[in-house]
Amino acid sequence: DGGITQSPKYLFRKEGQNVTLSCEQNLNHDAMYWYRQDPGQGLRLIYYSQIVNDFQKGDIAEGYSVSREKKESFPLTVTSAQKNPTAFYLCASRNGGGRETQYFGPGTRLLVL
Amino acid sequence: SQELEQSPQSLIVQEGKNLTINCTSSKTLYGLYWYKQKYGEGLIFLMMLQKGGEEKSHEKITAKLDEKKQQSSLHITASQPSHAGIYLCGADMGAGNNRKLIWGLGTSLAVNP
C-alpha cells in the first residue's frame, strides 16, 4: 500500500524537552511538508522540502527543526524553544513542484505535560 | 484577514438534504483542492480543480471552480451521516517563485440521521 505514515499518534512532551515526530512516505514524492493545525486557525506551514538535503522555512518555523536525509523521510523536531507546542501536526507529500495534489498522513497530536 | 474564505463555518443538516460549501478568494486561484477531515485524523483528498468553469464529481459530491477562478463551491446531494466531517479548501496562488499553497479555515458539517 502506498501512503504516508506518521508516528506516534500521540506524543507527550515535558518542559524543556525536544521531541521528534516521524513522517515516512513510499509514494516516491519529491516534496514533503509539515503543517500545524490549531482550532480556528486552519493549517499553517512549518517547514517544507522540495528535494533531499534541502528544506525551507514555512510561516511558523521558529522552535522547530527538520532534516531530509532520505527521500522518503522528513522528521520534525519540536524543540524546547517552541513555547506553545500543543497542536495536531500533519505531514504531507507532493510529487514535484508543480500543481500536483498534496497527500496527507494521519497526523500526530502533541500534548505538553 | 484570511486569503481564502470558507463559508459557512459550520453546518448542520438533516440526512437526505442537499448542501453547499463555498471557498472564495479575492485573487486568482491557479489550483483549488478540496479535502475532507474527520476529527483527529489526516486530510483525505477529494478533488482538484484548475480550469475556470471546471466541474468534477465524486459519488454524491460535486465541486466547481467559477469562470473567474476566484470561487469554488462544493455541493453534496442527499447528504448521509458518512458525509460528516470538516471540509477544507486549499489553493495554489501566485506563480513561479511566488507560488504558495494557502488554506481556508474549514467548514464543519454534521448530518443528523
Q: If chain A, 113 residues long, is cut into consecutive pieces of 10 residues, what is the mean pLDDT of each piece?
A: 90 92 96 93 92 93 97 96 94 80 95 88
For chains A and B, CB pairs below 8 A equal 43
Q: Is B29 helix (H, G, I), strand (E, B) or coil?
A: coil
Q: Which residues contact B89 (CB under 8 A, 6 or more apart)?
A: B4, B6, B23, B32, B33, B34, B35, B72, B74, B103, B104
Residues of A with CB under 8 A from a CB of B: 4, 6, 40-43, 45, 88, 90, 92, 99, 101-107, 109
Q: Which residues contact B31 (CB under 8 A, 6 or more apart)?
A: A99, B48, B49, B50, B91, B92
How far is CA A105 from each of CA A24, A68, B80, B113, rounded to the nearest angstrom? 9, 17, 25, 30
pLDDT at B96 over 80: no
What's the confidence (pLDDT) of residue B99?
Answer: 67
Contact at 8 Å (CB) between B77 and B18?
A: yes
Is A101's CB within 8 Å of B45's CB?
yes
Contact at 8 Å (CB) between A36 and A87?
A: yes
CA–CA distance, B16 with B2 (Å, rounded to integer): 32
At B26-84, the pLDDT tens digits run 888 888 999 999 989 999 999 999 988 999 998 899 999 998 889 999 999 999 999 99
CA–CA distance, A92 with A99 (Å, rounded to integer): 14
What's the confidence (pLDDT) of residue A15?
Answer: 85
From chain A, the residues in CB contact with B41 under 8 A are 106-107
Residue B98: DSSP 8-state: G
From chain B, the residues in CB contact with A105 under 8 A are 42
Contact at 8 Å (CB) between B50 and B30?
A: yes
Shortest distance, CA B17 to any CA of chain A (angstroms)? 26
What's the confidence (pLDDT) of residue B2?
Answer: 73
Task: Say how many C-beta atoms besides its own lie within 10 A of residue A41's C-beta.
Answer: 13
From chain A, the residues in CB contact with B31 under 8 A are 99
Whether B78 contacts chain A with CB within 8 A: no
Shortest distance, CA B50 to any CA of chain A (angstroms)? 9
Is B40's CB within 8 Å of A40's CB?
no
Confidence bin at B1 (pLDDT 50/70/90)? low
Task: Say how many C-beta atoms besides its own lie within 10 A of residue A98's C-beta.
Answer: 10
Q: What is the chain A residue with the closest CA to B45?
A: A103
Contact at 8 Å (CB) between A28 and A11?
A: no
What's the confidence (pLDDT) of residue A100?
Answer: 80
Is A104's CB within 8 Å of B43's CB?
yes
From chain B, the residues in CB contact with A41 under 8 A are 105
CA–CA distance, B106 with B13 (Å, rounded to integer): 17
Please give the residue that has the higher pLDDT: either A38 or B93: A38
From chain A, the residues in CB contact with B42 under 8 A are 4, 6, 90, 104-107
Shortest distance, CA B2 to any CA of chain A (angstroms)? 10
Confidence bin at B97 (pLDDT 50/70/90)? low
Residue with the three cell numbers 465524486: B58
What's the confidence (pLDDT) of residue A85?
Answer: 93
What's the confidence (pLDDT) of residue A68?
Answer: 97
Residue with the three cell numbers 459557512: B8
